[in-house]
């Protein structure tokens, strides 16, 4: 993914999706807003359910020339014709994923709030590093990726960075100068009208 001038949107699916309705909902959002990439991030480990979801969403995303990556299911990327993988174990499997998928695939790495993990993942060949959540959450352990991490990264490191988790209009406004992508998921899916909710968040970018 190229580094944009203004942050782009990296859309993250809900952990559970209804295949009868979600692909159409996703298509409506992709038609309404410019989206850089979609991540299939289901909580289920059932390979059949994941595969059916990936097939359905690939039709929607690829028809609109939007990349589709999958969380952690490395073996399914080539089998299902996806564009890459989003790894949730920081830097540990980046090198292996790159070797397995080749240079053309997208390999992203979620590194929580850790600058060290982010640098290690970048050195191992990740196409982007994702930090988050961007503020403390009630259900988490209180750790979060502070603004100065994004600011430092944007000034020192060339690997594109994604801000994700606990985003709101204020956080988007403050992080927009320092991040390449906003990873948006729960923030909009919990709303009655996800397309409108996304538009509201985007307006905060200025």
Quick check: 128 and 159 in contact, CB under 8 A?
A: yes
pLDDT in tens, 82-137: 999 999 999 999 999 999 999 999 999 999 999 999 999 999 999 999 999 999 98
Residue 125 region by backbone torsions, left for phi larger than 0, else alpha for psi between -120 and 50, else beta: left
The pLDDT value recorded for residue 206 is: 76
Nearest to 120 by CA among 99, 153, 91, 93: 91
Question: What DSSP character marks residue 4?
Answer: P
For residues 19 and 35, give the distance between their C-alpha atoms in angstroms, rounded to a whole number: 21
Q: Is this prediction's pTM over 0.85?
A: yes
Domains and CATH numbers, the chain: 8-201 (3.20.20.70)
Question: What DSSP character marks residue 92?
Answer: T
Q: Give the number of residues written for the chain.
A: 206
Quick check: 107 and 125 in contact, CB under 8 A?
A: yes
Two structure tokens written together for 117: 């993990």
pLDDT in tens, 138-185: 777 889 999 999 999 999 999 999 999 999 999 999 999 999 999 999
pLDDT in tens, 2-29: 544 789 999 999 999 999 999 999 999 9
Quick check: 204 and 169 in contact, CB under 8 A?
A: yes
């Amino acid at each position: 993914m190229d580094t944009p001038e203004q942050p782009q949107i990296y859309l993250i699916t809900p952990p559970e999706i209804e295949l009868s309705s979600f692909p159409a909902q996703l298509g409506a959002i992709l038609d309404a807003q410019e989206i850089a990439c979609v991540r299939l991030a289901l909580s289920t480990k059932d390979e059949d359910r994941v595969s059916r979801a990936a097939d359905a969403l690939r039709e929607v995303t690829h028809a609109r020339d939007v990349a589709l990556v999958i969380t952690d299911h490395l073996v399914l990327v080539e089998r299902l014709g996806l564009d890459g993988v989003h790894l949730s174990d920081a830097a540990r499997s980046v090198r292996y994923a790159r070797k397995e998928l080749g240079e053309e695939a997208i390999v992203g790495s979620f590194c929580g709030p850790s600058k060290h993990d982010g640098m290690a993942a970048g050195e191992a060949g990740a196409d982007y590093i994702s930090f988050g959540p961007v503020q403390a959450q009630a259900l988490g352990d209180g750790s979060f990726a502070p603004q100065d991490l994004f600011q430092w990264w944007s000034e020192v490191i060339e690997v594109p960075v994604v801000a994700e988790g606990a985003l709101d209009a204020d956080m988007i406004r403050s992080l927009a100068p320092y991040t390449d992508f906003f990873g948006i998921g729960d923030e909009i899916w919990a709303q009655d009208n996800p397309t409108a909710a996304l538009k509201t968040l985007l307006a905060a970018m200025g």
